[in-house]
Chains A and B, each alone.
Chain A
Amino acid sequence: MKKIIFVGLLGLTASVGRAQAPAFKRAFTNMTEVGGLFGRVDYSTQFSETVENRLSLTAQTFNGVQLRPRLAVGGTVGIDWYAAALLMPLCAGIRYDLARDTQKNVRVFTSLDAGYGVAWLHQSVSGYKTTGGWVLSPGVGLRIGRPGVANFTLSMSYKRQEAHVEKPVDGFYTLARSEDRVYNRLAIRLGIAF
């Protein structure tokens, strides 16, 4: 009987203990970053092959809801200054902390953004018409700072962005010209998150 009472008390104590821990509340979360899109281009003509480096400026902001202590979902809006296209990715995004201990001061997180990059801000040269395309960007990063306050972030992600360009023709010798682009870049960004 004593044993039963002891176990019962222990269970009660445990439940009281749980009730006293701070309950998780869903909250707005933001991660705003700027950085560079690093990559190369390799193209061949009939007579030569050329490899060149490419670097473009990128900025993005993720705004969402911290659904669980380690998981946030929301939307990502950005802007990518490619040399011949100014694209604005509109994505659905998630941020997931890998660190089980959410109280550490440096925590690893992963990210995934997927959506469509629009060319609303792009000003084409006369005769050209640039449209955007699908975008996918998985990545990994570090949150640096105490939990519960604004943190610095350092992230690295892969970004695949499609675009399409209709080009001018003389309507005679050349009858149709268009270009399908796939930008494959490594994005390295610094930012803040809260």
Chain B
Amino acid sequence: MKRTIYSLFVLSLFGLSSCTDKCKETRTYRRYTNISLTGTQVRQGVKLESARALEKPGKIYTKDGYLFINELKEGIHIIDNRDAGNPKTIAFLHIPGNGDMAIRDNILYADSYMDLVAFDLTNLANIREVNRVQNVFLNGQFEGGWWSFNQNNVTLSDQRVDYVTETMETNCEDGLATQSWRNCPNCVTFDASFASSSSSVLPTTSTGSNGTGGSMARFTLYNDYLYTVGQSDMQLFNISSPASPRIGEKISLGGGIETIFPYKDKLFVGSSSGMFIYDNANPAKPVRLSVFNHARVCDPVVVNGDIAYVTLRSGTTCQGFTNQLDVVDIKDLLNPRLLKSYPMQNPHGLGVDFPNLFICEGAGGLKSLDATNAMGITQLAHITGINAYDVIPIGQSVPGGAKTVLMIGKDGLYQFDYSNPQQLRQLSKIPVNRPY
């Protein structure tokens, strides 16, 4: 008996030596490596290639039943989406350093690092470069990696992005105290990871036939002008002759510029510190009116009429400690008024095709809401089991066709028919093979 007790006691002492907490954090992050390219390498890199899989989808643009999906820094996937139930990838237009696009009539405008390139889309099997405005963008960034163009030696400095997963030991006490994020340092690049962080069927006023982009786009069209925003400037291009864009006014905006979208005869320019409002009564020379402080760029915003829908989400670097949908009256643009807040799980992107409102809840799936009454928004449907980041209601691609909403998830681009918003019907899924 005593022997047993002694044995147990000794065993316990051995146990003491193993009484050490073991905690390991696994982290996946982006790693940057400096590279250099010549201007010639960039300009000769444009070519039409066979279709390929989506890996890092960026901005999405739609026109006449076709989807144009940016592959970050690589080019544009062209997808025939006239039958949303069976989208067909047609080709991949390789454009080095491409991040944004806009389409007027049959002309596609795309950035290629420092240049603006115009392509003729008349024959999608034979897309041709028709014009190029050189050296208009001198710096920018993709996935947080900065590039800059030196006009003197015609050399481009860029940063290659690799995805790294590593494991490290911790003190087992992370998450003990309140995290404090004082500002929004990474917001400026937020949209680049998943194209448009928020999108809507945007009103466009123009003389030609435009496509539809997201509200996080850096390119937008209005009347005879293409508006592009860089990190600190707004560069206008006169496209009265679409195939021959001419460089126009350049307006200094300040730092941290992310997005531009037209609203009535105003231009909203999103920066990491707020939203600038420009009066666009004279489209050749927008004039700054004011700063709209309510919405931070980290918070996806969509607008319909005089109502803005804003989602606030916790767990980001943007101070968000609540998960909710805010409905804001913006009749007076200078004095927005919060009408009502609705609790949400973990809202990411959202999109509106009034009265249908769609909200991505991250791992919580996709929600379809009825926004007819701003004070009484009701949930109509909730799709779970998918990781939803962003949503773009593109309506009817072709007359009489299904009303389609495009949802960007972790593993693919989903399309749902929301003709009956109470019962979203999955039409198709375009797989995305993300590198992480």
Q: B residues 152-208 with Cβ under 8 Å of A?
A: 163, 165, 168-179, 186, 189-190, 192-193
Fill in one digit per residue for A85-124: 1 if any B CB lies within 8 Å of its CB, else 0. Answer: 0000000000000111000000010100000000000001
How many Cβ-Cβ contacts under 8 Å join chain A to chain B?
148
Q: How far is the CB of A12 from chain B (nearest CB, A)?
A: 35
Fill in one digit per residue for B312-325: 1 if any A CB lies within 8 Å of its CB, else 0. Answer: 00111100010000
Interface residues on B, range: 35 or more
In the complex, are the beta carbons of B171 and A43 less than 8 A apart? yes
In the complex, are the beta carbons of B193 and A172 less than 8 A apart? yes
In the complex, are the beta carbons of A41 and B16 less than 8 A apart? no
Q: How far is the CB of A104 from chain B (nearest CB, A)?
A: 10
Given contact pairs A176-B436, A178-B26, A110 touches B21 in the complex (Cβ within 8 A): no
Nearest residue, chain A, Cβ from B5: A108
Task: List 6 A-B pairs, minimum CB-CB distance, nearest first.
Answer: A127-B315, A168-B315, A43-B169, A128-B175, A176-B28, A158-B15
In the complex, are the beta carbons of A179 and B26 less than 8 A apart? yes
Nearest residue, chain B, Cβ from A177: B27
Set of chain B residues within 8 Å of A185, measured between Cβ atoms: 19, 21
Fill in one digit per residue for B10-30: 1 if any A CB lies within 8 Å of its CB, else 0. Answer: 001001101111111111111
Assess whether A192 is interfacial by the CB under 8 Å rule.
no
Set of chain A residues within 8 Å of B15, measured between Cβ atoms: 158, 186
Cα separation A54 to B23 with both chains bound (whole Å): 13
Chain B residues near A (Cβ < 8 Å): 1, 4-5, 8-9, 12, 15-16, 18-30, 143-144, 163, 165, 168-179, 186, 189-190, 192-193, 314-317, 321, 436
Cα separation A108 to B170 with both chains bound (whole Å): 38
In the complex, are the beta carbons of A40 and B19 less than 8 A apart? yes
Interface residues on A, range: 35 or more
In the complex, are the beta carbons of B163 and A175 less than 8 A apart? yes
Q: A residues 141-194 with Cβ under 8 Å of B?
A: 156, 158, 165, 167-186
CB within 8 A of B190: which of A98, A130, A167, A172? Answer: A172
CB within 8 A of A175: which of B24, B29, B174? Answer: B29
26 example contacts (A-B, Cβ-Cβ < 8 A) are as follows: A39-B20, A43-B23, A43-B169, A52-B171, A54-B172, A83-B173, A108-B8, A127-B314, A140-B8, A168-B315, A170-B186, A170-B317, A171-B193, A171-B316, A172-B189, A173-B144, A176-B27, A176-B28, A177-B26, A179-B23, A179-B24, A180-B26, A182-B21, A184-B20, A184-B21, A185-B21
In the complex, are the beta carbons of A125 and B177 less than 8 A apart? yes
Nearest residue, chain A, Cβ from B26: A178
Q: How far is the CB of A90 from chain B (nearest CB, A)?
A: 21
Cα separation A124 to B175 with both chains bound (whole Å): 7
In the complex, are the beta carbons of B28 and A99 less than 8 A apart? no
Nearest residue, chain A, Cβ from B175: A128
Nearest residue, chain B, Cβ from A50: B171
Set of chain A residues within 8 Å of B169, measured between Cβ atoms: 42-45
Assess whether A27 is interfacial by the CB under 8 Å rule.
no
Q: How far is the CB of B301 from chain A (nearest CB, A)?
A: 17
Nearest residue, chain B, Cβ from A158: B15
Given contact pairs A170-B317, A173-B186, A184 touches B176 in the complex (Cβ within 8 A): no
In the complex, are the beta carbons of B176 and A84 less than 8 A apart? yes
Cα separation A172 to B27 with both chains bound (whole Å): 12
CB within 8 A of B29: which of A126, A173, A179? Answer: A173
In the complex, are the beta carbons of B26 and A165 less than 8 A apart? no
Assess whether A134 is interfacial by the CB under 8 Å rule.
no
Set of chain B residues within 8 Å of A40, measured between Cβ atoms: 19-21
In the complex, are the beta carbons of B170 and A54 less than 8 A apart? no
Nearest residue, chain A, Cβ from B143: A172
Set of chain A residues within 8 Å of B27, measured between Cβ atoms: 174, 176-177
Set of chain A residues within 8 Å of B21, measured between Cβ atoms: 39-41, 54, 181-185
Cα separation A158 to B170 with both chains bound (whole Å): 22
Nearest residue, chain B, Cβ from A39: B19
In the complex, are the beta carbons of B174 and A84 less than 8 A apart? yes
Set of chain B residues within 8 Å of A172, measured between Cβ atoms: 30, 143-144, 186, 189-190, 192-193
